[in-house]
């Protein structure tokens, strides 16, 4: 970002928001009854190639947060069904 606002990155760990993700997930799990993760998967399944998305999935799993997956279309799973 080229704006004039100060950037709080990993060199300022107490102020940085980049290293707090797991704390946010745990706080949501504890503070929001019925909290769960809904994974909206794109047509090309690129969600599973994005490191940040995979990190969220792993953190939810390790935190025992229930997960659901929403596919664009069930036909996406049938692409190789004839092989």
What value does the mean pLDDT take over residues 20-41? 89
Return the percentage of the chain with pLDDT > 90, whole number.
31
Closest by Cα among 45, 75, 43 to 57: 45
Average pLDDT, the chain: 84
Dump pLDDT digits (tens) for 44-53. 889 999 988 8
The predicted pLDDT at position 81 comes to 58
Q: How many CB atoms lie within 10 A of CB 14?
A: 6
pTM, full prediction:
0.66
């Amino acid at each position: 970002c080229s704006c004039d606002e100060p950037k709080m990155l990993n060199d300022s760990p107490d102020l940085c928001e980049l290293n707090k993700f797991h704390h946010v997930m745990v706080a949501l799990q504890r503070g929001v009854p019925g909290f769960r993760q809904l994974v909206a998967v794109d047509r090309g399944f690129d969600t599973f190639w994005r490191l940040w998305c995979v990190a969220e999935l792993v953190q939810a799993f390790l935190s025992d947060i229930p997960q659901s997956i929403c596919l664009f279309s069930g036909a996406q799973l049938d692409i190789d069904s004839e092989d």
